[in-house]
Amino acid sequence: MRKDLQKYFTTGKFAKLCGVNKRTLFHYDDIGLFCPAITDKNGYRYYSYRQLDVFSIISILKELNVPLKEMKSYLDERTPERLIDLSTQKIAEVDNEIEKLNQIKHLLEETIVFTNKGTHVNCDEITIEEQEEEYLIRSALLTEEDTKNYIQFMLDFTSFINSTQSMDTSFAGAMLSKENMLKNNYSNYSYFFVKTNKERKVPSMFVKPKGMYAIAYHHGSYETLSITYERLLKFLEEKHFHIGEFAYEEYLLDEVAVKNESDYITQITVAIEKSTPN
Judged by DSSP in three states, 186 sits in coil
The reported pLDDT for the residue numbered 276 is: 66
Q: Is residue 91 part of a domain?
A: no
Render pLDDT for 239-267 as a digit per residue (tens, 0 to 9).
999 999 999 999 999 999 999 999 999 99
Residues 145 and 73 in one domain: no
Residue 88 domain-assigned (yes or no)? no
Specify whether the CB–CB gap between 130 and 211 falls below 8 A.
yes
- The number of distinct structural domains making up the chain is 2
CATH number of domain containing 54: 1.10.1660.10
Domain of 173, CATH number, reads 3.20.80.10
Rounded CA separation 272/278 (Å): 18
Residue 85 lies inside a defined structural domain of this protein: no
Q: Specify whether 69 is located in the same domain as 119.
A: no
pTM of the model: 0.79
204 and 242 co-located in one domain: yes
Domain that holds residue 155: 107-274
Model pLDDT for residues 174-230, shown as the tens digit of each residue:
999 999 999 999 999 999 999 998 777 777 899 999 999 999 999 999 999 999 999
Same domain, 39 and 155: no
3-state helix, strand, coil in the chain (%, to 5): 45, 25, 30
User: What are the φ and ψ backbone dihedral angles of 177, each rounded to 5 degrees?
Assistant: -75, 155
Within this chain, do residues 64 and 199 fall inside the same structural domain, yes or no? no
Q: Residue 245: what pLDDT?
A: 94
- Which carries the bigger pLDDT value, residue 277 or residue 56? 56
CA distance 21 to 34: 14
In a shared domain, residues 115 and 70: no
